[in-house]
Structure 1
Amino acid sequence: MVRTLNLIEKKFENFIIKNSKYIANKKIGIGVSGGPDSLSLAILLNKYRTKYNLDLFAFTVDHQLRIESQKEAQFVKSCMDKLSICHKTIVWKKPHSQHNILETARIARYNLIAKECIKNDIDLIMIGHHANDQIETFIIRLEANSGLDGLACMKSNTTIITDFTKLNIIRPLLNFEKKDLKEVCRKTNINWVSDPTNYNLKYKRTKARYIAKSKSLSHDFKLVINQYSKLKLNIDKLLNNQIKKNVKFNDNGICEIKNEFIKKLPKLFQKKILILLIKIIGGKKYPRKSLVINRIITNIHDVNINNFTAGGVYFIKSKNIILLIRQNEPSINQIILQYKTTIWDRRFLITKQCHTSNISVGPLTEKDYINMVKLKKIQKTKMPFAAIKTLPTFRVLDEIVSIPHLLYYKNYLWKKNIKIEHIENDLFISCNKLYI
């Protein structure tokens, strides 16, 4: 058993070495629920914290969905105290509606953790998803008729967009089996809690778990997931190179596609590119359904259709290009900037560098735009008016103090105190820039 533990620890250290530019010398948040997977993750990170200069901070989210949850959070704190890892329990005030409660809780969990990351200057979050979770995810998505992206399952490194910031997520245990993680806990004399919902057959994941228990099937599933993951990676590389050559971006969220480029691609590639662009331009949390994407492709090829809306995006067709602009819709809210960073409309990351409490951000209305032009506070722009109406506009009470994309600032302080960038800024930097 000692040899087994040594092999597990060495395998974990190899992951750190391979990903050292993301992990070494970083302040790392660990999501710890009390199960053997997340506890073993904390134990393994603790073993290498000095060697790789890891500053560790553990979070437990008490969703208050079960009677035992408070006691379990206290148990996790005692485990983290043994490891000398700072720990905080974050309590979620659950909604009255129980509709889709697990998904609602998942979104809330990441938002709550994001707030703590901002407060504590944490660079990334590590979570304990393991090989068994990966197989269960594959089975669930296979049953749901997922495509290539879904069947490639979870990535070890990913980014999640929350309401407040971009969370860098690392899953170091995707190649570790649960039995190995239990062994890590046993050898460290740390017990774990068992979540009764893991045995409740009303959940899809519980049913998938029974299929995944088969050793022969488990081996086959791992091979298939690995192949899907490699295929997705290679296709994404190919498409990203094509996007760099044929799609132009503006950091206000507008993009331009060459008509000829999108039309000559195989339908599979057309779908993948449109799904990506609609998420970016339309500020959507999830990819649009195939029915929506197929309708967009049909409209692009139809010479009798010039402009149309779909998936929160306004498409403007011309002879050689197609413009994609955020559609002006009620979901684009005006919100108060309560925290140092905020993500608005799932498109823009806003950093507030002042303590003014009543700053809000919302869309620029048609009335305000016309009034600002009349007062000569801004100049008319060649930007399509559909795009102007969805630009982030900062107000104190009812007064407009900044419209960064139209280069308007009431005074120098507003230019200095409010920083804004598109959440896909890296993509804009790596691709051609579009200036309108």
Structure 2
Amino acid sequence: MNSPRIVPPGSAPGDAAPLRAGEFARLMAPAGPFEPAPHLAVAVSGGPDSLALSLLAASWARRRKGRVTALTVEHGLRAESAAEARQAGRWLKTHGISHRILPWRGEKPASGVQAAAREARLRHLADWCVRHRVLHLLTAHQMEDQAATVLLRLSAGSGGDGLAAMPLVQDLRAPDGAGIRLIRPLLAIPEARLKATLGNRGQAWIDDPSNRDRSYARTRLTVALDALGGEGMSVARLARAAHRAGSDRAALDSACGELLSRAAAPHPAGFVTLDWACWRAAPEAVSLRALIRLLTAVGGRPFGPRLERVERLSESLRAAYPARAVTLGGCRIIPRRGALLICREPGAAEAALTLKPGERRLWDNRYRVHVPRRAEFRGACMLGRLGSDGIAALRRTMADGGRALETIPAPARPALPAFRDLDGLLAVPHLRYARSPGGDGCEAQYIGAGNRTGGVFGPVA
């Protein structure tokens, strides 16, 4: 087992000012309000950024009679990762900070390692927070991280949203559908000041060699920041550009929410009816944003479709009322009685999952589903899309001959969540169908999709 590469506190840059408690409190204020005696979770790797955040957050929480739990996801991707997690825990213990190690078990990907590790890390962190009823998760993304994100988004051809990079506050969804708040209070702070904070407290940190691995695009761009700084594109300027883009995004979000409150009618079953004329009359930037938000919410994806594809669809819809349906981002956009019906594309819905009695899960990234603890069913209980076979079965078995189906537009019916066992349909909550015994109490609550604040009508942070 390899030992961690420990950097002594004397290595901190001498020309950088430590981050003090008062300044950190001002950084946290826009993420509030916080409950009395807040319990914060802090993602910590043992590197300088996350260690400094842990110490600052612990002091902040104690002043408010709260506490911090530091969380390390032990990914097992490097030989020294387990030793690094334990070392971080020993350091944190000397500061009176509780620490938990969350192992990432199972097979690791052969490619796309950074993206897969990032996704697994957030999944483990969010799951721990939900299980322990912790609402706030802090991560130590700082100014250089923000600047590199701006460059990554530029290289991908992102629009204004992408250039706003990482927001201060972002909603995360746990596997069971419950939400927590991801907070990044250090986005305006350079790494040198965080190292100086540790140096001021006599705290060493761990050097992660993967941060210098140029096989990763983010690492190459971080290295390129030094060269770009000589041309006037400094880290601070890129971070300020992200902040300005974020302010523009907030203004557009407000206008978009106002438009959607007038033009869109979301249904608890997971589809939306959009007043085409009202939507079309809005400024182009606002109507485009509203369309992206609807496709994200209905399509079951963390983010919307690629911008250029939504732009083409928006241009077409603004030019004339559509003559036929189109698909995009896992959604069907269907002309219907002068409006637009936006519903889930059945073939794009998540595969069926198996549920145990009493279990709560997230299905299709849109529905929080639940099977009662005392549910009775034969064999396994499966949750998946209703499909045409399920629709036909309902017409045969429902007491009203399936007339309840008419409460849902025909194109939206096949993607409805349906519970099944070996005897067939068990429950279709949105059609108020439950086979007795067994199906009573089965729930499928539509909560939309996306990992950003506000759902369909609220602001996107």
- Contact persistence 2:349–2:415 (CA under 8 A): no
How far 1:205 moved relative to its partner?
1.8
1:259 aligns with 2:276: yes
Partner Cα separation in structure 1 for residue 266 and residue 419 of structure 2: 23
1:326 aligns with 2:326: no
Residues 5-26 of structure 1: per-residue CA shift (max 9 Å, x gap): 4x52111122344444236433
How far 1:370 moved relative to its partner?
2.3
Match of 1:195 among 197, 208, 212: 208
Match of 2:250 among 219, 225, 233: 233
Residue in 1 that maps onto 2:170? 158
- Contact persistence 2:188–2:239 (CA under 8 A): no
Scaled by the length of structure 1, the TM-score of the pair is 0.88
Residue in 2 that maps onto 1:280? 297
Partner Cα separation in structure 1 for residue 64 and residue 416 of structure 2: 43
Pair 1:4–1:193, CA change in 2 (3 A): same
* Equivalent residues in 2 for 1:24-39, closer than 5 Å: 24-39=36-51
Pair 1:108–1:96, CA change in 2 (3 A): closer
- Contact persistence 2:255–2:286 (CA under 8 A): no
The residue type equivalent to 1:347 in the other structure is R
- Contact persistence 2:43–2:70 (CA under 8 A): yes
Pair 1:426–1:143, CA change in 2 (3 A): closer
The residue type equivalent to 1:367 in the other structure is D
Range that drifts further, 36-45 or 111-120: 111-120
RMSD: 3.0
How far 1:149 moved relative to its partner?
0.2
- Contact persistence 1:36–1:181 (CA under 8 A): yes
- Contact persistence 1:63–1:94 (CA under 8 A): no
* Equivalent residues in 2 for 1:185-224, closer than 5 Å: 185-213=198-226, 214=229, 217-224=234-241
1:307 aligns with 2:330: no
How far 1:154 moved relative to its partner?
0.8
Residue in 2 that maps onto 1:434? none
- Contact persistence 1:34–1:76 (CA under 8 A): yes
* Equivalent residues in 2 for 1:285-296, closer than 5 Å: 285-296=302-313
How far 1:249 moved relative to its partner?
0.9
How far 1:325 moved relative to its partner?
0.6
Residue in 1 that maps onto 2:388? 366
Residue in 1 that maps onto 2:89? 77
- Contact persistence 2:40–2:61 (CA under 8 A): no
Residues 12-62 of structure 1: per-residue CA shift (max 9 Å, x gap): 122344444236433322111111111111111211323213232221112
The residue type equivalent to 1:337 in the other structure is L
Match of 1:21 among 4, 12, 33: 33
SS at match of 1:323: strand
- Contact persistence 1:23–1:54 (CA under 8 A): no
1:121 aligns with 2:121: no
How far 1:343 moved relative to its partner?
1.6
- Contact persistence 1:257–1:321 (CA under 8 A): yes
How far 1:346 moved relative to its partner?
1.1
SS at match of 1:349: strand
Residue in 1 that maps onto 2:145? 133
The residue type equivalent to 2:301 in the other structure is K
SS at match of 2:270: coil
Q: Between the two proteins, what is the percent identity of the paired residues?
A: 21
How far 1:429 moved relative to its partner?
7.8
Partner Cα separation in structure 1 for residue 271 and residue 67 of structure 2: 39
Partner Cα separation in structure 2 for residue 225 and residue 12 of structure 1: 20
SS at match of 1:380: helix
How far 1:398 moved relative to its partner?
4.9
How far 1:208 moved relative to its partner?
2.1
SS at match of 1:60: strand
The residue type equivalent to 1:210 in the other structure is V
The residue type equivalent to 2:197 in the other structure is V
Range that drifts further, 142-151 or 11-20: 11-20
Residue in 1 that maps onto 2:55? 43
Residues 212-267 of structure 1: per-residue CA shift (max 9 Å, x gap): 34386233223322221111111111111111111111121111111212333444
Pair 1:337–1:26, CA change in 2 (3 A): farther
- Contact persistence 2:264–2:275 (CA under 8 A): yes
Residue in 2 that maps onto 1:148? 160
Partner Cα separation in structure 1 for residue 90 and residue 160 of structure 2: 42
The unaligned stretches of length 5 or more in structure 1 are 432-436
Residues 381-424 of structure 1: per-residue CA shift (max 9 Å, x gap): 23122211111122355543332211223469865564624236
How far 1:321 moved relative to its partner?
0.7
Partner Cα separation in structure 1 for residue 182 and residue 168 of structure 2: 8
Partner Cα separation in structure 1 for residue 271 and residue 431 of structure 2: 14
Pair 1:124–1:212, CA change in 2 (3 A): same
The residue type equivalent to 1:173 in the other structure is L
Match of 1:177 among 181, 190, 202: 190
Pair 1:341–1:156, CA change in 2 (3 A): farther
- Contact persistence 2:383–2:418 (CA under 8 A): yes
The residue type equivalent to 1:354 in the other structure is R
Higher RCO (CA 8 Å, separation ≥ 6 residues): 2
Count of matched residue pairs: 430
Pair 1:243–1:94, CA change in 2 (3 A): same
How far 1:430 moved relative to its partner?
7.1
Pair 1:170–1:202, CA change in 2 (3 A): same
Match of 2:363 among 339, 344, 347: 344
- Contact persistence 1:259–1:319 (CA under 8 A): no
Partner Cα separation in structure 1 for residue 348 and residue 153 of structure 2: 31
Pair 1:389–1:220, CA change in 2 (3 A): same
Range that drifts further, 13-22 or 243-252: 13-22
Partner Cα separation in structure 2 for residue 368 and residue 86 of structure 1: 50
